A and B are shown apart, each in its own frame.
Chain A
Protein backbone atom coordinates (compact mmCIF):
# COMPACT_ATOMS: atom_id res chain seq x y z
CA UNK A 1 0.00 0.00 0.00
CA UNK A 2 0.81 3.74 0.01
CA UNK A 3 2.03 3.96 -3.55
CA UNK A 4 2.64 7.31 -5.19
CA UNK A 5 3.23 7.62 -8.90
CA UNK A 6 4.61 10.45 -10.98
CA UNK A 7 4.42 11.10 -14.67
CA UNK A 8 6.49 11.63 -16.68
CA UNK A 9 9.62 10.13 -15.14
CA UNK A 10 11.85 12.12 -17.43
CA UNK A 11 11.28 15.11 -19.67
CA UNK A 12 13.50 17.15 -21.92
CA UNK A 13 12.15 20.42 -23.23
CA UNK A 14 13.24 23.60 -24.94
CA UNK A 15 13.71 26.81 -23.01
CA UNK A 16 10.50 28.82 -22.78
CA UNK A 17 8.10 25.90 -22.87
CA UNK A 18 5.87 24.76 -20.02
CA UNK A 19 6.02 21.33 -18.48
CA UNK A 20 3.33 19.60 -16.44
CA UNK A 21 4.15 16.90 -13.91
CA UNK A 22 1.45 14.69 -12.39
CA UNK A 23 1.52 13.12 -8.97
CA UNK A 24 -1.01 10.47 -8.02
CA UNK A 25 -1.67 8.53 -4.85
CA UNK A 26 -2.69 5.13 -6.20
CA UNK A 27 -4.16 3.33 -3.22
CA UNK A 28 -5.06 6.01 -0.71
CA UNK A 29 -6.58 9.45 -0.51
CA UNK A 30 -4.10 12.19 0.15
CA UNK A 31 -5.46 15.37 1.64
CA UNK A 32 -2.02 16.90 1.43
CA UNK A 33 0.66 16.53 -1.20
CA UNK A 34 4.08 18.10 -1.27
CA UNK A 35 6.42 19.13 -4.06
CA UNK A 36 10.19 19.01 -3.65
CA UNK A 37 13.12 19.85 -5.85
CA UNK A 38 16.56 18.32 -5.58
CA UNK A 39 19.68 19.48 -7.36
CA UNK A 40 22.59 17.05 -7.80
CA UNK A 41 24.32 16.13 -4.54
CA UNK A 42 22.07 18.50 -2.58
CA UNK A 43 19.29 18.07 -0.06
CA UNK A 44 15.63 17.87 -0.84
CA UNK A 45 14.11 21.33 -0.94
CA UNK A 46 10.41 21.72 -0.20
CA UNK A 47 8.78 23.93 -2.81
CA UNK A 48 5.14 23.91 -1.79
CA UNK A 49 2.40 22.19 0.15
CA UNK A 50 -0.75 21.35 -1.74
CA UNK A 51 -4.11 20.74 -0.10
CA UNK A 52 -7.04 19.35 -2.04
CA UNK A 53 -9.42 22.07 -3.13
CA UNK A 54 -7.38 25.00 -1.89
CA UNK A 55 -4.46 27.11 -2.99
CA UNK A 56 -0.99 25.75 -2.49
CA UNK A 57 1.30 27.17 0.16
CA UNK A 58 4.68 28.04 -1.29
CA UNK A 59 7.96 28.10 0.57
CA UNK A 60 9.93 31.30 0.73
CA UNK A 61 11.78 32.02 -2.48
CA UNK A 62 9.61 29.79 -4.67
CA UNK A 63 7.78 31.74 -7.37
CA UNK A 64 4.12 30.74 -7.34
CA UNK A 65 3.53 32.16 -10.82
CA UNK A 66 6.33 30.06 -12.24
CA UNK A 67 5.50 26.82 -10.43
CA UNK A 68 1.75 26.36 -10.72
CA UNK A 69 0.26 23.73 -8.46
CA UNK A 70 -3.21 22.29 -8.77
CA UNK A 71 -4.64 19.73 -6.36
CA UNK A 72 -7.91 18.92 -8.06
CA UNK A 73 -8.75 15.72 -6.24
CA UNK A 74 -7.71 13.61 -3.27
CA UNK A 75 -5.49 11.51 -5.50
CA UNK A 76 -4.00 13.97 -7.98
CA UNK A 77 -1.78 17.00 -7.78
CA UNK A 78 -0.02 18.64 -10.71
CA UNK A 79 3.01 20.90 -10.91
CA UNK A 80 3.43 23.04 -14.00
CA UNK A 81 6.78 24.66 -14.60
CA UNK A 82 5.93 27.64 -16.77
CA UNK A 83 8.39 29.15 -19.25
CA UNK A 84 11.07 26.73 -18.17
CA UNK A 85 14.71 27.78 -18.35
CA UNK A 86 17.93 25.75 -18.01
CA UNK A 87 18.24 26.72 -14.33
CA UNK A 88 14.93 24.93 -13.70
CA UNK A 89 16.57 21.64 -14.67
CA UNK A 90 16.30 19.49 -11.58
CA UNK A 91 14.80 16.38 -10.03
CA UNK A 92 11.21 17.12 -8.98
CA UNK A 93 9.67 14.80 -6.41
CA UNK A 94 6.19 14.76 -4.99
CA UNK A 95 5.01 13.14 -1.80
CA UNK A 96 1.61 12.40 -0.37
CA UNK A 97 0.57 12.27 3.23
CA UNK A 98 -1.59 9.60 4.76
CA UNK A 99 -3.55 9.99 7.93
CA UNK A 100 -3.63 12.88 10.31
CA UNK A 101 -1.87 13.76 13.52
CA UNK A 102 0.85 11.35 14.48
CA UNK A 103 0.19 8.97 11.62
CA UNK A 104 1.24 11.58 9.13
CA UNK A 105 3.63 9.57 7.09
CA UNK A 106 4.73 10.91 3.72
CA UNK A 107 5.34 8.60 0.82
CA UNK A 108 7.36 9.80 -2.11
CA UNK A 109 6.78 9.38 -5.79
CA UNK A 110 9.63 8.15 -8.00
CA UNK A 111 10.48 11.66 -9.18
CA UNK A 112 10.61 13.48 -12.49
CA UNK A 113 13.90 14.50 -13.98
CA UNK A 114 13.51 17.73 -15.93
CA UNK A 115 16.13 18.88 -18.39
CA UNK A 116 15.63 22.25 -20.04
CA UNK A 117 17.79 22.86 -23.09
Chain B
Protein backbone atom coordinates (compact mmCIF):
# COMPACT_ATOMS: atom_id res chain seq x y z
CA UNK B 1 0.00 0.00 0.00
CA UNK B 2 1.35 3.38 -0.99
CA UNK B 3 0.86 6.07 1.62
CA UNK B 4 2.31 9.51 2.07
CA UNK B 5 1.50 11.29 5.29
CA UNK B 6 1.68 14.98 6.07
CA UNK B 7 0.39 17.09 8.91
CA UNK B 8 -2.44 19.15 7.48
CA UNK B 9 -1.55 22.20 9.58
CA UNK B 10 -1.87 25.04 9.37
CA UNK B 11 1.72 25.66 10.27
CA UNK B 12 2.06 29.27 11.31
CA UNK B 13 5.43 30.99 11.34
CA UNK B 14 6.42 34.67 11.52
CA UNK B 15 8.07 36.36 8.62
CA UNK B 16 11.80 35.70 8.55
CA UNK B 17 11.59 32.43 10.48
CA UNK B 18 12.41 28.94 9.26
CA UNK B 19 9.42 26.83 8.26
CA UNK B 20 9.86 23.07 8.58
CA UNK B 21 7.52 20.79 6.69
CA UNK B 22 7.61 17.04 7.18
CA UNK B 23 6.43 14.02 5.26
CA UNK B 24 6.61 10.29 5.86
CA UNK B 25 6.04 7.51 3.38
CA UNK B 26 5.20 3.88 3.85
CA UNK B 27 6.82 2.10 0.93
CA UNK B 28 10.53 1.39 1.27
CA UNK B 29 10.73 0.97 -2.48
CA UNK B 30 10.13 4.68 -3.03
CA UNK B 31 12.77 6.18 -5.26
CA UNK B 32 11.87 9.73 -6.14
CA UNK B 33 10.62 12.48 -3.86
CA UNK B 34 9.15 15.85 -4.70
CA UNK B 35 7.85 18.95 -2.99
CA UNK B 36 5.18 20.98 -4.74
CA UNK B 37 3.66 24.28 -3.68
CA UNK B 38 0.00 24.98 -4.40
CA UNK B 39 -1.58 28.37 -3.94
CA UNK B 40 -5.31 28.46 -3.38
CA UNK B 41 -7.14 28.00 -6.67
CA UNK B 42 -3.95 27.27 -8.59
CA UNK B 43 -2.21 24.12 -9.79
CA UNK B 44 0.85 22.62 -8.05
CA UNK B 45 4.25 24.11 -8.80
CA UNK B 46 7.41 22.03 -8.43
CA UNK B 47 9.81 23.35 -5.80
CA UNK B 48 12.31 20.58 -5.24
CA UNK B 49 13.10 17.02 -6.18
CA UNK B 50 15.41 14.75 -4.21
CA UNK B 51 16.55 11.22 -4.88
CA UNK B 52 19.46 10.50 -2.50
CA UNK B 53 19.83 10.57 1.25
CA UNK B 54 20.96 13.87 2.66
CA UNK B 55 20.26 17.51 1.97
CA UNK B 56 19.64 19.36 -1.25
CA UNK B 57 19.60 23.13 -1.24
CA UNK B 58 18.07 25.53 -3.75
CA UNK B 59 17.95 29.15 -2.69
CA UNK B 60 15.87 29.46 0.47
CA UNK B 61 14.67 25.88 0.18
CA UNK B 62 16.36 22.75 1.52
CA UNK B 63 14.98 19.28 1.01
CA UNK B 64 16.13 16.53 3.33
CA UNK B 65 15.74 12.82 2.69
CA UNK B 66 16.26 9.96 5.12
CA UNK B 67 15.35 6.67 3.49
CA UNK B 68 16.15 4.60 6.57
CA UNK B 69 13.55 6.52 8.57
CA UNK B 70 11.30 6.98 5.53
CA UNK B 71 10.84 10.69 5.81
CA UNK B 72 11.44 13.68 3.67
CA UNK B 73 11.30 17.26 4.82
CA UNK B 74 11.36 20.75 3.37
CA UNK B 75 12.93 23.70 5.13
CA UNK B 76 12.12 27.23 4.04
CA UNK B 77 14.53 29.83 5.35
CA UNK B 78 13.64 33.49 5.77
CA UNK B 79 9.95 32.72 5.27
CA UNK B 80 7.94 35.36 3.44
CA UNK B 81 4.19 36.00 3.41
CA UNK B 82 4.28 34.98 -0.26
CA UNK B 83 5.33 31.50 0.87
CA UNK B 84 1.88 31.03 2.40
CA UNK B 85 0.44 28.09 0.48
CA UNK B 86 -0.20 24.37 0.74
CA UNK B 87 2.91 22.26 0.35
CA UNK B 88 2.45 18.84 -1.17
CA UNK B 89 4.86 15.99 -0.65
CA UNK B 90 4.87 13.48 -3.50
CA UNK B 91 6.60 10.16 -3.93
CA UNK B 92 7.17 7.78 -6.83
CA UNK B 93 7.32 4.19 -5.73
CA UNK B 94 9.63 1.86 -7.59
CA UNK B 95 7.78 0.14 -10.41
CA UNK B 96 5.16 2.85 -10.69
CA UNK B 97 5.07 5.90 -12.91
CA UNK B 98 2.51 7.84 -10.90
CA UNK B 99 3.00 10.30 -8.09
CA UNK B 100 1.50 9.48 -4.73
CA UNK B 101 0.63 12.74 -2.97
CA UNK B 102 0.24 13.54 0.65
CA UNK B 103 -2.77 15.64 1.59
CA UNK B 104 -0.57 18.68 1.97
CA UNK B 105 0.44 21.00 4.78
CA UNK B 106 -0.90 24.54 4.81
CA UNK B 107 1.77 27.09 5.68
CA UNK B 108 0.84 30.55 6.92
CA UNK B 109 3.59 33.16 7.16
CA UNK B 110 2.51 36.23 9.09
CA UNK B 111 4.08 39.65 8.44
Contacts and interface: CB of A to CB of B under 8 A. Distances in A.
Interface string A80-117: 00000000000101010100001011111111000000
Contact of A93 (B43, B51, B92): B43
A108 B45 contact: yes
Contacts of A104: 32, 92, 97
Size class of the B contact interface (CB-based, 8 Å): 20 to 34
Contacts, number: 43
Interface of B: 31-32, 34, 36, 41-46, 49, 51, 88, 92, 97-99, 101-104
A44 interface: yes
Chain A CB within 10 Å, residue with most, of B34, B36, B42, B43: B43
Given A93-B43, A102-B31, A107-B46, A44 B98 contact: no
A102 B44 contact: no
Nearest to A45: B101
